[in-house]
Amino acid sequence: MKQLTKAEEDIMQILWQLKKANVKSIIKEFPEPKPAYNTVSTIVRILENKGFVGYEKEGKGHIYFPLLEQQDYSNQSINKLVDNYFQGSFKSMVSFFVKKNDISLNELESVLKEINKKE
């Protein structure tokens, strides 16, 4: 699966939230200053070419929708992060975040409970 640029991911986040939207609706969701129509339209077409977005015709325009679930992309991104920066070790990743972010004991216990539910 291909990685998204920051701009592409911003648009995908909006599409995952809205489910379906035209370019104008996507732009409305951005904070000020809003990106240009042509910029968003170009990025949406790139997402379509990458296989992340589909569309249906509506009048003269298009309604875009995600072809990939947000959870699937999140899982792929996390796995790539772990592989690239933590040599494939989730333990190393968790250890890093514990050391750098001062994760509380309660938060760590909560994570452990979630892990134990999976087993």
How far apart are the C-alpha atoms of 24 and 45, rounded to whole Å?
Answer: 14
Task: Identify any residues that bridge with 68 across adjacent strands, giving them in sequence order.
Answer: none
Domain range for 111? 86-118
- Other Cβ atoms closer than 10 A to 52: 22
Give the pLDDT of residue 110. Answer: 86
* pLDDT at residue 27 tops 90: yes
What's the distance, CA 113 to chain centroid?
25
Task: Give the count of domains, the chain.
Answer: 2
Q: How much of the chain, in percent, has pLDDT values that exceed 70?
A: 97
Within a domain: 32: yes
**96's tokens:** 């890093």
d(CA 117, CA 66) in angstroms, rounded, equals 30
- List pLDDT tens digits, range 40-95: 999 999 999 999 999 999 999 999 999 999 999 988 888 888 888 899 888 888 78
CATH of the domain at 49: 1.10.10.10
Burial of 66 (0-12, 13-18, 19+ CB in 10 A): buried
Q: Does 47 share its domain with 11?
A: yes
State the average pLDDT over residues 88-113. 81
Residue 54 sits at φ, ψ, to 5 deg, of -115, 175
User: Does a structural domain hold residue 79?
Assistant: no
